[in-house]
Structure 1
Amino acid sequence: MSQEVSRDVMNISDVKIKDLTANPAPLGLMGFGMTTVLLNIHNAGFYPMDAMILSMGFFYGGIAQIIAGLMEWKKGNTFGTTAFTSYGLFWLTLVGIVLLPKSSESYTTLAPGSFPFAAYLFMWGVFTLFMFVGTLKGTKALSVVFLALAVLFFLLAAGNYSGNAAILRVAGYEGIFTGAAAIYTALGQVLNEAYGKKIVPL
Protein backbone atom coordinates (compact mmCIF):
# COMPACT_ATOMS: atom_id res chain seq x y z
CA MET A 1 0.00 0.00 0.00
CA SER A 2 2.79 2.42 0.95
CA GLN A 3 4.61 1.64 -2.29
CA GLU A 4 1.49 2.52 -4.30
CA VAL A 5 1.15 5.81 -2.43
CA SER A 6 4.80 6.73 -3.04
CA ARG A 7 4.41 5.82 -6.73
CA ASP A 8 1.36 8.13 -6.98
CA VAL A 9 3.29 10.94 -5.29
CA MET A 10 6.08 10.55 -7.84
CA ASN A 11 3.56 10.72 -10.68
CA ILE A 12 1.98 13.88 -9.24
CA SER A 13 5.39 15.55 -8.97
CA ASP A 14 5.91 14.98 -12.69
CA VAL A 15 2.66 16.71 -13.73
CA LYS A 16 3.17 19.88 -15.78
CA ILE A 17 0.47 22.55 -15.85
CA LYS A 18 -0.04 24.15 -19.25
CA ASP A 19 -1.16 27.77 -19.39
CA LEU A 20 -4.21 27.93 -21.67
CA THR A 21 -5.16 31.53 -20.91
CA ALA A 22 -5.09 34.13 -23.69
CA ASN A 23 -2.23 36.56 -24.26
CA PRO A 24 -3.31 39.89 -22.69
CA ALA A 25 -0.51 41.94 -24.28
CA PRO A 26 -2.41 42.84 -27.49
CA LEU A 27 -5.29 44.26 -25.42
CA GLY A 28 -2.90 46.43 -23.42
CA LEU A 29 -0.96 47.53 -26.48
CA MET A 30 -4.13 48.40 -28.40
CA GLY A 31 -5.52 50.37 -25.45
CA PHE A 32 -2.27 52.27 -25.25
CA GLY A 33 -1.71 52.61 -29.00
CA MET A 34 -5.12 53.85 -30.13
CA THR A 35 -5.44 56.32 -27.26
CA THR A 36 -1.91 57.62 -27.84
CA VAL A 37 -2.57 58.20 -31.55
CA LEU A 38 -5.79 60.11 -30.84
CA LEU A 39 -4.24 62.27 -28.11
CA ASN A 40 -1.23 63.13 -30.24
CA ILE A 41 -3.31 64.10 -33.25
CA HIS A 42 -4.54 66.75 -30.80
CA ASN A 43 -0.95 67.56 -29.74
CA ALA A 44 -0.03 67.97 -33.41
CA GLY A 45 -2.70 70.67 -33.61
CA PHE A 46 -5.47 69.00 -35.64
CA TYR A 47 -8.28 69.28 -33.07
CA PRO A 48 -8.76 70.46 -29.46
CA MET A 49 -8.94 68.32 -26.33
CA ASP A 50 -12.47 66.93 -26.16
CA ALA A 51 -14.68 64.23 -24.64
CA MET A 52 -13.55 61.67 -27.24
CA ILE A 53 -9.91 61.83 -26.05
CA LEU A 54 -10.89 61.84 -22.37
CA SER A 55 -13.25 58.89 -22.81
CA MET A 56 -10.62 56.89 -24.69
CA GLY A 57 -8.08 57.77 -22.00
CA PHE A 58 -10.39 56.70 -19.18
CA PHE A 59 -11.87 53.52 -20.61
CA TYR A 60 -9.51 52.08 -23.22
CA GLY A 61 -6.17 53.63 -22.34
CA GLY A 62 -6.90 53.40 -18.61
CA ILE A 63 -9.23 50.59 -17.60
CA ALA A 64 -8.36 48.20 -20.46
CA GLN A 65 -4.63 48.45 -19.71
CA ILE A 66 -5.20 47.84 -16.01
CA ILE A 67 -7.21 44.73 -16.90
CA ALA A 68 -4.34 43.61 -19.17
CA GLY A 69 -1.89 44.23 -16.34
CA LEU A 70 -3.91 42.07 -13.95
CA MET A 71 -4.05 39.33 -16.57
CA GLU A 72 -0.26 39.54 -16.96
CA TRP A 73 0.04 39.18 -13.17
CA LYS A 74 -1.99 35.99 -13.42
CA LYS A 75 0.56 34.73 -15.95
CA GLY A 76 3.48 35.62 -13.66
CA ASN A 77 4.79 38.32 -16.02
CA THR A 78 6.29 41.04 -13.82
CA PHE A 79 7.24 43.30 -16.74
CA GLY A 80 3.76 43.11 -18.33
CA THR A 81 2.07 43.70 -14.99
CA THR A 82 4.21 46.74 -14.22
CA ALA A 83 3.95 48.22 -17.72
CA PHE A 84 0.23 47.82 -18.43
CA THR A 85 -0.96 48.65 -14.92
CA SER A 86 1.30 51.71 -14.72
CA TYR A 87 0.36 53.11 -18.14
CA GLY A 88 -3.32 52.39 -17.45
CA LEU A 89 -3.02 54.48 -14.32
CA PHE A 90 -1.09 57.10 -16.30
CA TRP A 91 -4.11 57.58 -18.54
CA LEU A 92 -6.45 57.78 -15.54
CA THR A 93 -4.25 60.38 -13.86
CA LEU A 94 -4.03 62.36 -17.10
CA VAL A 95 -7.82 62.43 -17.34
CA GLY A 96 -7.91 63.47 -13.69
CA ILE A 97 -5.46 66.32 -14.32
CA VAL A 98 -7.76 67.64 -17.05
CA LEU A 99 -11.07 67.16 -15.22
CA LEU A 100 -10.37 67.71 -11.51
CA PRO A 101 -9.70 71.46 -11.82
CA LYS A 102 -13.12 71.80 -13.46
CA SER A 103 -14.87 70.08 -10.54
CA SER A 104 -13.83 72.54 -7.83
CA GLU A 105 -12.17 75.94 -7.56
CA SER A 106 -9.93 74.55 -4.79
CA TYR A 107 -7.84 72.63 -7.32
CA THR A 108 -5.06 74.26 -9.27
CA THR A 109 -4.88 73.53 -12.97
CA LEU A 110 -1.85 71.64 -14.29
CA ALA A 111 -2.26 73.21 -17.68
CA PRO A 112 0.14 72.65 -20.55
CA GLY A 113 2.96 75.15 -20.16
CA SER A 114 3.22 74.66 -16.40
CA PHE A 115 6.25 73.33 -14.52
CA PRO A 116 4.27 70.74 -12.49
CA PHE A 117 2.83 69.23 -15.69
CA ALA A 118 6.30 69.14 -17.25
CA ALA A 119 7.66 67.40 -14.13
CA TYR A 120 4.83 64.86 -14.34
CA LEU A 121 5.68 64.05 -17.95
CA PHE A 122 9.42 63.95 -17.22
CA MET A 123 8.97 61.35 -14.46
CA TRP A 124 6.95 59.16 -16.83
CA GLY A 125 9.80 59.52 -19.32
CA VAL A 126 12.31 58.29 -16.74
CA PHE A 127 10.06 55.32 -15.91
CA THR A 128 9.64 54.48 -19.59
CA LEU A 129 13.38 54.69 -20.26
CA PHE A 130 14.04 52.06 -17.59
CA MET A 131 11.21 49.91 -18.94
CA PHE A 132 12.80 50.20 -22.40
CA VAL A 133 15.91 48.49 -21.03
CA GLY A 134 13.67 45.60 -20.00
CA THR A 135 12.39 45.21 -23.57
CA LEU A 136 15.86 44.58 -25.00
CA LYS A 137 15.45 40.88 -24.22
CA GLY A 138 12.13 40.81 -26.09
CA THR A 139 11.02 41.63 -29.62
CA LYS A 140 12.44 44.56 -31.58
CA ALA A 141 8.91 45.88 -32.17
CA LEU A 142 8.29 46.22 -28.42
CA SER A 143 11.66 47.93 -27.96
CA VAL A 144 10.71 50.47 -30.65
CA VAL A 145 7.43 51.20 -28.83
CA PHE A 146 9.11 51.87 -25.49
CA LEU A 147 12.01 53.88 -26.92
CA ALA A 148 9.62 56.03 -28.95
CA LEU A 149 7.42 56.50 -25.88
CA ALA A 150 10.38 57.62 -23.76
CA VAL A 151 11.30 60.17 -26.43
CA LEU A 152 7.67 61.33 -26.54
CA PHE A 153 7.51 61.93 -22.79
CA PHE A 154 10.76 63.90 -22.81
CA LEU A 155 9.61 65.99 -25.79
CA LEU A 156 6.30 66.73 -24.08
CA ALA A 157 8.11 67.61 -20.85
CA ALA A 158 10.46 69.96 -22.72
CA GLY A 159 7.61 71.54 -24.66
CA ASN A 160 5.54 72.12 -21.55
CA TYR A 161 8.47 73.40 -19.49
CA SER A 162 9.48 75.89 -22.16
CA GLY A 163 5.98 76.62 -23.44
CA ASN A 164 7.32 76.07 -26.97
CA ALA A 165 4.43 75.21 -29.30
CA ALA A 166 6.80 73.91 -32.00
CA ILE A 167 8.25 71.26 -29.67
CA LEU A 168 4.76 70.20 -28.67
CA ARG A 169 3.76 69.91 -32.32
CA VAL A 170 6.83 67.75 -33.06
CA ALA A 171 5.92 65.66 -30.01
CA GLY A 172 2.46 65.21 -31.48
CA TYR A 173 3.80 63.68 -34.68
CA GLU A 174 6.29 61.56 -32.73
CA GLY A 175 3.40 60.42 -30.52
CA ILE A 176 1.36 59.36 -33.55
CA PHE A 177 4.31 57.19 -34.58
CA THR A 178 4.57 55.76 -31.06
CA GLY A 179 0.90 54.83 -30.94
CA ALA A 180 1.04 53.35 -34.44
CA ALA A 181 4.04 51.22 -33.42
CA ALA A 182 2.07 49.89 -30.44
CA ILE A 183 -0.92 49.09 -32.69
CA TYR A 184 1.37 47.30 -35.16
CA THR A 185 2.90 45.23 -32.33
CA ALA A 186 -0.52 44.33 -30.93
CA LEU A 187 -2.03 43.31 -34.26
CA GLY A 188 1.15 41.42 -35.15
CA GLN A 189 0.78 39.30 -32.03
CA VAL A 190 -2.91 38.68 -32.72
CA LEU A 191 -2.40 37.70 -36.36
CA ASN A 192 0.65 35.54 -35.70
CA GLU A 193 -1.29 33.62 -33.06
CA ALA A 194 -4.42 33.37 -35.22
CA TYR A 195 -2.49 31.91 -38.18
CA GLY A 196 -0.14 29.83 -36.06
CA LYS A 197 2.94 31.25 -37.77
CA LYS A 198 4.89 34.48 -38.05
CA ILE A 199 3.20 36.46 -40.81
CA VAL A 200 3.91 39.85 -39.19
CA PRO A 201 7.59 40.45 -38.31
CA LEU A 202 8.05 41.65 -34.75
Structure 2
Amino acid sequence: MWEVAVGNTFGATALSSYGGFWISFAIILTPGGFSIIEALTTPDGREIAFVDSFGFFVMGWFIFTTLLLLCTLRSTVAFFLLFLTLDMAFLMLGIGYLHHLLGTPYTPLVRASGAFGIVAAFLAWYNALAGIADSSNSFFVVPVAHFPWSDKGREMRQKVNNDEARGLAEV
Protein backbone atom coordinates (compact mmCIF):
# COMPACT_ATOMS: atom_id res chain seq x y z
CA MET A 1 0.00 0.00 0.00
CA TRP A 2 3.05 2.25 0.11
CA GLU A 3 2.70 2.48 -3.67
CA VAL A 4 -0.43 4.57 -3.10
CA ALA A 5 1.47 6.89 -0.76
CA VAL A 6 4.27 7.48 -3.29
CA GLY A 7 1.80 8.02 -6.14
CA ASN A 8 2.58 4.86 -8.13
CA THR A 9 -0.87 4.00 -9.46
CA PHE A 10 0.36 1.04 -11.51
CA GLY A 11 2.20 -0.52 -8.56
CA ALA A 12 -0.72 0.05 -6.21
CA THR A 13 -3.19 -1.45 -8.67
CA ALA A 14 -1.06 -4.47 -9.55
CA LEU A 15 0.15 -5.35 -6.06
CA SER A 16 -3.20 -4.91 -4.29
CA SER A 17 -5.07 -6.75 -7.05
CA TYR A 18 -2.73 -9.72 -7.10
CA GLY A 19 -2.81 -9.77 -3.30
CA GLY A 20 -6.59 -10.09 -3.60
CA PHE A 21 -6.12 -12.80 -6.22
CA TRP A 22 -3.99 -14.92 -3.89
CA ILE A 23 -6.49 -14.49 -1.06
CA SER A 24 -9.38 -15.54 -3.31
CA PHE A 25 -7.33 -18.40 -4.77
CA ALA A 26 -6.68 -19.71 -1.26
CA ILE A 27 -10.34 -19.33 -0.31
CA ILE A 28 -11.42 -21.30 -3.38
CA LEU A 29 -8.97 -24.14 -2.82
CA THR A 30 -9.14 -24.40 0.97
CA PRO A 31 -10.72 -27.78 1.65
CA GLY A 32 -13.62 -27.89 4.04
CA GLY A 33 -13.72 -24.33 5.35
CA PHE A 34 -15.46 -22.58 2.47
CA SER A 35 -16.81 -25.68 0.68
CA ILE A 36 -16.67 -24.02 -2.75
CA ILE A 37 -15.49 -27.12 -4.58
CA GLU A 38 -18.02 -29.30 -2.75
CA ALA A 39 -20.86 -26.89 -3.60
CA LEU A 40 -19.99 -27.15 -7.31
CA THR A 41 -19.56 -30.92 -7.37
CA THR A 42 -22.36 -33.14 -8.68
CA PRO A 43 -23.72 -35.95 -6.47
CA ASP A 44 -21.84 -38.51 -8.57
CA GLY A 45 -18.52 -36.75 -7.75
CA ARG A 46 -17.90 -34.86 -11.00
CA GLU A 47 -16.51 -31.36 -10.65
CA ILE A 48 -17.66 -30.05 -14.04
CA ALA A 49 -19.33 -26.92 -12.63
CA PHE A 50 -16.30 -26.13 -10.47
CA VAL A 51 -13.80 -26.64 -13.30
CA ASP A 52 -15.85 -24.44 -15.65
CA SER A 53 -16.30 -21.66 -13.09
CA PHE A 54 -12.65 -21.81 -12.04
CA GLY A 55 -11.63 -21.56 -15.70
CA PHE A 56 -13.74 -18.41 -16.11
CA PHE A 57 -12.31 -17.01 -12.85
CA VAL A 58 -8.75 -17.46 -14.16
CA MET A 59 -9.67 -16.04 -17.58
CA GLY A 60 -10.83 -12.87 -15.80
CA TRP A 61 -7.35 -12.57 -14.32
CA PHE A 62 -5.90 -13.18 -17.78
CA ILE A 63 -7.85 -10.17 -19.09
CA PHE A 64 -6.76 -8.00 -16.15
CA THR A 65 -3.12 -9.04 -16.60
CA THR A 66 -3.33 -8.26 -20.33
CA LEU A 67 -4.40 -4.71 -19.46
CA LEU A 68 -1.44 -4.37 -17.10
CA LEU A 69 0.84 -5.88 -19.76
CA LEU A 70 -0.13 -3.08 -22.15
CA CYS A 71 0.78 -0.55 -19.46
CA THR A 72 4.32 -1.98 -19.18
CA LEU A 73 5.21 -1.06 -22.77
CA ARG A 74 6.78 2.19 -21.56
CA SER A 75 8.84 0.47 -18.91
CA THR A 76 11.69 -2.03 -19.11
CA VAL A 77 11.92 -5.22 -21.13
CA ALA A 78 12.31 -7.25 -17.93
CA PHE A 79 9.12 -5.77 -16.47
CA PHE A 80 7.26 -6.42 -19.73
CA LEU A 81 8.50 -10.03 -19.78
CA LEU A 82 7.29 -10.51 -16.20
CA PHE A 83 3.74 -9.55 -17.15
CA LEU A 84 3.92 -11.44 -20.44
CA THR A 85 4.85 -14.71 -18.72
CA LEU A 86 2.26 -14.09 -16.00
CA ASP A 87 -0.33 -13.43 -18.70
CA MET A 88 0.60 -16.67 -20.46
CA ALA A 89 0.34 -18.56 -17.16
CA PHE A 90 -3.22 -17.29 -16.63
CA LEU A 91 -4.15 -17.99 -20.25
CA MET A 92 -2.84 -21.57 -20.16
CA LEU A 93 -4.44 -22.25 -16.79
CA GLY A 94 -7.79 -20.80 -17.87
CA ILE A 95 -7.86 -22.76 -21.12
CA GLY A 96 -6.68 -25.87 -19.29
CA TYR A 97 -9.66 -25.66 -16.95
CA LEU A 98 -12.17 -24.69 -19.63
CA HIS A 99 -10.95 -27.45 -21.99
CA HIS A 100 -11.64 -30.38 -19.68
CA LEU A 101 -12.78 -33.94 -19.94
CA LEU A 102 -15.76 -34.52 -17.62
CA GLY A 103 -14.38 -32.32 -14.87
CA THR A 104 -10.68 -33.15 -15.19
CA PRO A 105 -8.59 -30.16 -16.36
CA TYR A 106 -6.43 -30.65 -19.45
CA THR A 107 -3.11 -31.59 -17.84
CA PRO A 108 -0.64 -30.44 -20.55
CA LEU A 109 -2.01 -26.88 -20.46
CA VAL A 110 -2.07 -26.80 -16.67
CA ARG A 111 1.58 -27.93 -16.64
CA ALA A 112 2.49 -25.30 -19.26
CA SER A 113 0.81 -22.74 -17.02
CA GLY A 114 2.98 -23.87 -14.13
CA ALA A 115 6.12 -23.51 -16.26
CA PHE A 116 5.14 -19.97 -17.24
CA GLY A 117 4.36 -19.26 -13.58
CA ILE A 118 7.84 -20.39 -12.50
CA VAL A 119 9.48 -18.20 -15.15
CA ALA A 120 7.27 -15.30 -14.01
CA ALA A 121 8.40 -15.85 -10.41
CA PHE A 122 12.08 -15.67 -11.41
CA LEU A 123 11.40 -12.54 -13.45
CA ALA A 124 9.56 -11.02 -10.49
CA TRP A 125 12.59 -11.58 -8.25
CA TYR A 126 14.88 -10.18 -10.97
CA ASN A 127 12.72 -7.05 -11.28
CA ALA A 128 12.62 -6.67 -7.51
CA LEU A 129 16.41 -6.85 -7.31
CA ALA A 130 16.75 -4.42 -10.23
CA GLY A 131 14.44 -2.01 -8.43
CA ILE A 132 16.28 -1.97 -5.13
CA ALA A 133 19.94 -2.50 -6.08
CA ASP A 134 21.33 0.81 -7.22
CA SER A 135 24.62 2.67 -6.89
CA SER A 136 23.62 4.09 -3.49
CA ASN A 137 23.28 0.72 -1.75
CA SER A 138 24.97 -1.93 -3.88
CA PHE A 139 28.30 -2.70 -5.52
CA PHE A 140 26.49 -3.69 -8.69
CA VAL A 141 23.50 -2.51 -10.67
CA VAL A 142 21.21 -5.11 -12.20
CA PRO A 143 20.97 -4.49 -15.94
CA VAL A 144 17.56 -3.86 -17.46
CA ALA A 145 16.92 -2.96 -21.08
CA HIS A 146 14.62 -0.05 -21.80
CA PHE A 147 12.30 0.00 -24.78
CA PRO A 148 13.50 2.52 -27.39
CA TRP A 149 10.15 4.34 -27.25
CA SER A 150 10.16 4.69 -23.46
CA ASP A 151 11.20 7.94 -21.77
CA LYS A 152 14.41 6.37 -20.49
CA GLY A 153 15.11 4.81 -23.91
CA ARG A 154 14.69 8.19 -25.66
CA GLU A 155 16.89 9.82 -23.03
CA MET A 156 19.63 7.23 -23.61
CA ARG A 157 19.42 7.74 -27.40
CA GLN A 158 19.83 11.50 -27.02
CA LYS A 159 23.08 10.98 -25.10
CA VAL A 160 24.63 9.35 -28.18
CA ASN A 161 26.49 11.92 -30.28
CA ASN A 162 25.98 10.81 -33.89
CA ASP A 163 28.27 13.57 -35.24
CA GLU A 164 31.26 12.04 -33.48
CA ALA A 165 30.35 8.60 -34.80
CA ARG A 166 30.17 9.94 -38.40
CA GLY A 167 33.53 11.71 -37.97
CA LEU A 168 35.19 8.45 -36.86
CA ALA A 169 33.75 6.63 -39.87
CA GLU A 170 35.32 9.17 -42.27
CA VAL A 171 38.82 8.75 -40.79
When normalised by structure 1's length, the TM-score is: 0.59
Two-structure CA RMSD over aligned residues (Å): 2.3
Structure 1 gaps of 5+ residues are: 1-69
Q: Deviations over 1:59-82 (max 9, x none)?
A: xxxxxxxxxxx1000011111111
Larger radius of gyration: 2
1:127 to 56, 64, 67: 64
Cα offset, 1:91, TM superposition: 0.4
Shift of 1:121: 0.4
Q: String of CA shifts for 1:74-102, please: whole Å, max 9, x gaps.
A: 01111111100000000000011012x51
Q: How does 1:3-22 map to 2 (within 5 A)?
A: none
1:71 correspondence with 2:14: no
Distance in 2 of aligned mates of 1:83 and 1:104: 26
Corresponding residue for residue 108 of structure 1: 39
1:164 maps to which residue? 106
> C-alpha separation between the residues in 1 aligned to 2:27 and 2:52?
17
2:78 to 109, 131, 141: 141
State the AA in 1 paired with 2:33. S
One-letter identity of the residue aligned with 1:157: G
SS at match of 1:195: coil
Equivalent in the alignment of 2:137 = 194
TM-superposition CA deviations, 1:122-178 (whole Å, max 9, x none): 000000001011111111111111111111100000111112111111111111111
Q: Distance in 2 between matches of 1:177 and 1:128?
A: 16
- Name which structure has the greater RCO, CA cutoff 8 Å, separation 6+: 1
Unaligned residue ranges in structure 2 (runs of 5+): 42-46, 100-104, 145-171
Distance 1:104 1:123, change over 3 A: closer
Aligned length in residues:
131
1:96 aligns with: 27
SS at structure 2 position matched to 1:145: helix
The aligned amino acid for 1:199 is V
For the 8 Å contact 2:66–2:87, the answer to whether it is kept is yes
Structure 1 position 176 matched with structure 2 position 118: yes
Pair 189,171 (structure 1): closer, same or farther in 2 beyond 3 Å: same
CA distance in 2, matches of 1:128, 1:108: 28
| Identity value in percent | 30
CA shift for structure 1 position 109? 5.0
What is the rounded CA distance, in whole Å, between the counterparts of 1:119 and 1:104 in structure 2? 19
Tell me which protein shows more helix as a share of its residues.
Answer: 1
C-alpha contact 2:27 2:34 (8 A) present in aligned 1: no
| Residues 1:81 and 2:8 aligned together | no
Q: Report if the CA contact (8 A) 1:72-1:80 is conserved.
A: yes
Checking the alignment, whether the CA contact within 8 Å between 2:51 and 2:98 is kept in structure 1 is yes
C-alpha deviation, 1:194, in angstroms: 2.0
Query: Do 2:28 and 2:34's aligned partners in 1 also have CA atoms closer than 8 Å?
Result: no
TM-score, with structure 2 as normaliser: 0.69
Is the 2:89–2:112 Cα contact (8 Å) retained in structure 1? no
